[in-house]
Amino acid sequence: MSDRYEILVVGAGPCGIAVGAAAKKRGVSCVLFDKGCIATSLVNYPYYMTFFSTAVMLEVGDVPFTIPEAKPSRREALTYYRMVAEHWDLDVNQYQEVVEVSGREGDFTVRTREIDGREATYQAASVVFATGGFHHPNYLGVPGEDLPKVSHYYHEPYPYYDQDVLVVGGSNSAVESALELYRNGARVTLVHFLDKVDRGVKPWVVPDINNRLEKGEIPVFWRHRVAEIRPETVVLRSEDDGAETEIQNDFVLAMTGWRADHGPLRKLGVEIDEETGKPRHDPATMETNVPGLYIAGVIAAGYDANKIFIENGRDHGGLIVAHRLNGR
Ligand SMILES: Cc1cc2nc3c(=O)[nH]c(=O)nc-3n(C[C@H](O)[C@H](O)[C@H](O)COP(=O)(O)OP(=O)(O)OC[C@H]3O[C@@H](n4cnc5c(N)ncnc54)[C@H](O)[C@@H]3O)c2cc1C
């Protein structure tokens, strides 16, 4: 099969959908591919989470996000982004991974693969990578990390009832999972290499976690790192004096963040800043140093994924479509 589009978007997360909506609004032909479903990243969030952003700040494609509360739940957001795709009648191909992009501006060839192995190629004048930042977990890099009791995802507390769970990290993900686990019958311990929870933790969650930690309801090892994961225990090492402590353990939840895969961009000649991890691009147009190749959403943030999220990554679509229409 071979079709030709003005814009081909790799990734149908919130920011990829925003590109599709912007293209549709301006009458530009556009197709989207996602290796999973629409907004796969949100599907993988903790099931009962609430966004830190208000619904208004998460809106894309001029579609109102109307809910009775200020901040939406994961389920409300999943419904919303699906509705945006439907509203603009976007051409979204789910479960079709983009495995190769080649060619040049005006004449890119994109090869895709479906779950059953079927392949197809498409032609596009321009390609937008809206592939997000959730490709590889930030591994702890310690012995035992490959044990089945270790996970870099947290969905819900129920599998951990009456279990010794170590949560690694001090970010929103670590703090919120620790609190949920504590309230649902897990014996949870927190370990973090700093001496307090991260600055970005939702302000309304900070008193709750700090109270639990101060009262010893959630034991915490500040300024410690995981040194080794064993089948029935975990060894923690002090950052200060290297002293090791071995604690009982059934599960490890490594809430240490994720990284984007820059491999496909590098292969196409996009320069990646080694220090920041940012693909070289013009923030006014989101075009990379390779003409006709664009980035949208959190992939533009580099290693500091907290700098770009839906609230500001949603604007990239409009910039890209304007550049395709006016900039050439
Ligand atoms: C727990 C949690 C809470 C958050 N809360 C907020 C919040 O309140 N407000 C906010 O603004 N942000 C929040 N974020 C951040 C937000 O989720 C991300 O910034 C957002 O998902 C970025 O959207 P995106 O479209 O750039 O990338 P993603 O949503 O990650 O979408 C990328 C898509 O690309 C697809 N893909 C990747 N590679 C390929 C390929 N080769 N072929 C085809 N498809 C591919 C993936 O399957 C994925 O669907 C939160 C994140 C987490 C983890």
* Residues sharing a CB contact under 8 Å with residue 172, sequence separation 6 or more, in sequence order: 52, 198, 200, 201, 202, 205
CA distance 20 to 17: 5
Which numbered atom of ligand 1 lies nearest the CA of 11?
A: 34
Count of CB atoms situated within 10 Å of the CB of 284: 10
Per-residue pLDDT of the chain (328 residues), as tens digits, is: 456 899 999 999 999 999 999 999 999 999 999 999 999 999 999 999 999 999 999 999 999 999 999 999 999 999 999 999 999 999 999 999 999 999 999 999 999 999 999 999 999 999 999 999 988 999 999 999 999 999 999 999 999 999 999 999 999 999 999 999 999 999 999 999 999 999 989 999 999 999 999 999 999 999 999 999 999 999 999 999 999 999 999 999 999 999 999 999 999 999 999 999 999 999 999 999 999 999 999 999 998 878 899 999 999 999 999 999 986 5
| Rounded Cα gap, residues 188 and 164, in angstroms | 6
- The residue whose C-alpha atom lies closest to atom 26 belonging to ligand 1 is 297
Ligand 1 atom at shortest distance from the alpha carbon of 49: 1
> By C-alpha distance, which of 8, 63, 15 is closest to 314?
15
Pocket probe mutation, ligand 1, options 69, 80, 286, 309, max atoms within 8 Å of Cβ = 309
Question: How far out from the chain centre does Cα 75 lie?
Answer: 16
Task: Indicate the helix (H) or strand (E) that contains 175.
Answer: helix 172-183
* Closest ligand 1 atom, residue 258 Cα: 53
How many other C-beta atoms are found inside a 10 Å radius of the C-beta of residue 207?
A: 9
Calpha distance 34→112 (Å, rounded):
10
Question: Going by DSSP bridges, is the β-strand pair 187-192/220-222 parallel, antiparallel, or unpaired?
Answer: parallel
Question: Rounded distance, CA 290 to CA 265, Å?
Answer: 9
